[in-house]
Amino acid sequence: MKIGPAGVALIESFEQCRLTAYPDSGSVWTIGWGHTRGVKKGDTCTQEQADAWLCVDLEDAEKIVNASVKKPLTQNQFDALVSFVFNIGHLGMTMLYKINAGDMSGAALEFGKWNHCGTEILPGLTRRRESERVLFTKD
């Protein structure tokens, strides 16, 4: 599967495009639409480069979801999972287990457990996880 417009819109609503590198809440250097690979302090990019990195990063997240999930997904479920992987880099093991067992309601409850940076609960991550959960459960 490929991410749809609802998934891209969700990601873009949380990953504000910045053309100058900045440390994210976990102190990882980030640029563009949440791109981190090879980014260092002082880096800059154009809007075109940021958009190109977004496409590559989305493809990476899609590959993880497509390779990991063994049950059929709706477009909304797929989009929510790609957003989650885009942000975290992987699917939570319990979430993946529940999805592959067909327990989509249980899997939806797992989103809210991923709102921490270290031991600190981040309001932005809490909002993002709730948005992903809502999309995941939407018909």
In this structure, the number of other CB atoms found within 10 A of the CB of residue 73 comes to: 17
The pLDDT of residue 91? 95
User: For tokens 């997904």, what's the residue?
Assistant: 73
Considering the candidates 12, 15, 62, 120, report the single residue annotated as catalytic. 15
Average pLDDT over residues 47-59: 98
Count how many residues are written for the chain.
139
Spatial separation of the C-alpha atoms in residues 62 and 70, rounded to whole Å = 14
Task: State pLDDT tens for residues 22-31.
Answer: 999 889 999 9
* Whole-structure pTM value: 0.95
Task: State pLDDT tens for residues 99-112.
Answer: 999 999 999 999 99
Residue 44 corresponds to which tokens in the numbers above?
Answer: 């800059």
Average pLDDT over residues 79-107: 97
The pLDDT of residue 25? 87
The pLDDT of residue 103? 98
Residue 54, pLDDT > 90, answer: yes
Q: Is 36 exposed, middle or buried (0-12, 13-18, 19+ CB in 10 A)?
A: middle
Q: Is 132 considered catalytic here?
A: no
Residue 99 corresponds to which tokens in the numbers above?
Answer: 């999805």
Average pLDDT, whole number, for the chain? 97
Q: What is the CATH number of domain 5-137?
A: 1.10.530.40
No. of helices (H) and no. of strands (E), the chain: 6, 4
The closest of 48, 78, 52, 131 to 35, measured between CA atoms, is 52
Spatial separation of the C-alpha atoms in residues 58 and 86, rounded to whole Å = 7
Residues 64, 72 contacting (CB under 8 angstroms): no
Residue 41 corresponds to which tokens in the numbers above?
Answer: 């302090």
